[in-house]
Amino acid sequence: MALAPVRAAVFDAYGTLFDVASAAAEARGALGDRWQPLAELWRSKQLQYTWLRSLAGRHADFWQVTGDAVDFALEALGLADAALRARLMESYRHLAAYPEAKDVLTRLRGAGVRLAVLSNGAPAMLASAAESAGLAGLLEQVLSVEDVGVYKPHPAVYRLAVDRLGVPAAEIVFVSSNGWDAFGAKAFGYQVAWCNRAGQPAERLPAAPDAEIRSLAELPPLLGLP
């Protein structure tokens, strides 16, 4: 299946371009076999806090939310330790990109597709991650929810890319590994490719993505590119 022609590709950052588990994996020497449970609980609480803060109208940036989430996870697993926390948070500034990410972005840019990130992340977090992963020079825009003060899947977030790129939503493909994010983007009006890395079942939500891929490497053919 191919998508309709697009002028721009907009990517979620965390879990799509950057491996959110890599911060805990980097500390596996200290965490032992608890690194993966920590990574999973940290991510779960991080997302829960974004949604709860949005619903309550109590916004805080993603750096604070990420810190609050790791504090919960460390305490829940009996791992609370200031030095370990500091190490994990520093690693989150420099998350590993997925192996195929740079090549795919390079191919899309070479084909004339405009590239952007649209993320919950705070601007400094996103800039640091993109730079350390070698992706910064490929991206035309790195857009943060901090410009609207609410988290995904609020429609105001998805409007940012349309406004900043000056491209209609129907001519943009939005790519996310998060099913709920894919729903929000599709409900807004983007063409959407859900990068279902984990082989999750489809979300029971009223807007479905246009395509499902298992890796970013499947994106160029989906757009009719070599």
Q: What is the CATH number of the domain that holds 79?
A: 1.10.150.240
Q: What's residue 20's pLDDT?
A: 97
CB-count burial class (<10 Å; 0-12, 13-18, 19+) for 45: buried
- The C-alpha atoms of residue 148 and residue 157 are separated, in whole angstroms, by 7
- Cα angle for residues 168, 171, 172 (degrees, 5° grid): 95
Together in a domain, 49 and 104: no
pLDDT given at position 109:
98
- Catalytic, out of 12, 19, 181, 210: 12
Query: Dihedrals φ, ψ of 101, to 5°?
Result: -60, -50
Residue finishing a domain among 57, 72, 92:
92
Instruction: Report the share of the chain in percent with pLDDT over 90.
Output: 99
The predicted structure's pLDDT at residue 216: 98
Do 105 and 73 form a contact (C-beta atoms < 8 A)? no
* pLDDT, mean of residues 159-172: 98
Do 181 and 113 belong together in one domain? yes
Average pLDDT, the chain: 97
Whether the CB-CB separation of 17 and 101 falls below 8 Å is answered with yes
Number of domains present in the structure of the chain = 2
Q: Which residue has the higher pLDDT, 1 or 38?
A: 38
Q: Has 12 been annotated as catalytic?
A: yes
Show the tokens assigned to 131. Answer: 């730079």
Residues 65 and 113 in one domain: no
* One domain for residues 75 and 14: no
Apex 73 CA angle, 69 and 78, nearest 5: 150
Shared domain for 211 and 173, answered yes or no, is yes
Give residue-wise pLDDT tens across range 119-136: 999 999 999 999 999 999
User: Based on the domain organization, do 87 and 103 belong to the same domain?
Assistant: no
Q: Where does a domain end: 74, 92, 110?
A: 92
Residue 3 located in a structural domain? no
Q: Is the bond preceding residue 153 a cis peptide, omega within 30 degrees?
A: yes
Answer yes or no: do 113 and 75 share one domain: no
Instruction: Answer whether residue 161 shows pLDDT above 80.
Output: yes
**Is residue 1 pLDDT above 80, yes or no?**
no
Q: Which domain holds residue 142?
A: 8-18+95-222
Q: Are 115 and 127 in contact (CB under 8 A)?
A: no
Residue 2 has pLDDT above 90, yes or no: no
Residues 156 and 197 in one domain: yes
Residues 56, 154, single domain; the answer is: no
Tell me, yes or no, whether 1 lies in a domain. Answer: no
Q: Is there a single domain that holds both residue 100 and residue 142?
A: yes
Q: Residue 148: which residues within 8 A CB-CB, separation 6 or more?
A: 154, 156, 157, 160
pLDDT at 226: 83
Asked whether residue 151 falls in the same domain as residue 208, the answer is yes
**Per-residue confidence (pLDDT) for residue 112, from 0 to 100:** 98
Mind spelling out the 3-state secondary structure of 140-196? CEEEEHHHCCCCCCCHHHHHHHHHHHCCCHHHEEEEECCHHHHHHHHHHCCEEEEEC
- Residue-wise pLDDT for 59-100, tens only, equals 999 999 999 999 999 999 999 999 999 999 999 999 999 999
The CATH number linked to 153 is 3.40.50.1000
Residue reference for tokens 């032992």: 32
The model's confidence at residue 143, banded by pLDDT at 50, 70 and 90, is: very high
At residue 17, does pLDDT exceed 80?
yes
Q: Same structural domain for residues 42 and 72?
A: yes
The reply to whether the predicted model has a pTM over 0.95 is: yes
